Amino acid sequence: MPDPFIPNPILKPAIIVCPGGAYQTCPRHGNEGDPVAMTFAVDGYQAFVLEYSVATKTSQQNMMFPAQILDLGKAMLTKNHLGTEFSGFFA
């Protein structure tokens, strides 16, 4: 079954959706993650949803900046490393 976030295996622009805000929530399945990615996918983008580090009451270390930016950088490197599987480019 084809992945709904990769509408076409040819070279397409790619986007990473970073849902939430204030580094306190990362609502992938809410209205800021998957639905946004699906909207871009319908328009021909390869869409990825980033589940980044967030603040929790039990682990303040997870929220410390720049952990979230590093998560995004790792996602971009991973996507580029898997270029043969995901043939898109970042727009």
Kindly write down the DSSP assignment for every residue of the chain, as one continuous string: ---TT---SSS-EEEEE--SBTTTB--TTTTSSHHHHHHHHHTT-EEEE-------SS-GGGGSTTHHHHHHHHHHHHHHHTTTTS--EE-
Q: What is the pLDDT of residues 55-76, one digit of tens each?
A: 766 665 556 678 888 999 998 8
- 5 domain residue, yes or no: no
Say how many domains are in the chain: 1
- 47 domain residue, yes or no: yes
Q: What is the pLDDT of residues 11-25, one digit of tens each?
A: 778 889 999 876 677
Distance (Å, whole) CA 89 – CA 45: 9
Q: What mean pLDDT, rounded, does the chain reach? A: 76
What is the residue range of 79's domain? 13-84
Length of the chain: 91
pTM for the model stands at 0.71
pLDDT for residue 88 is more than 70: no
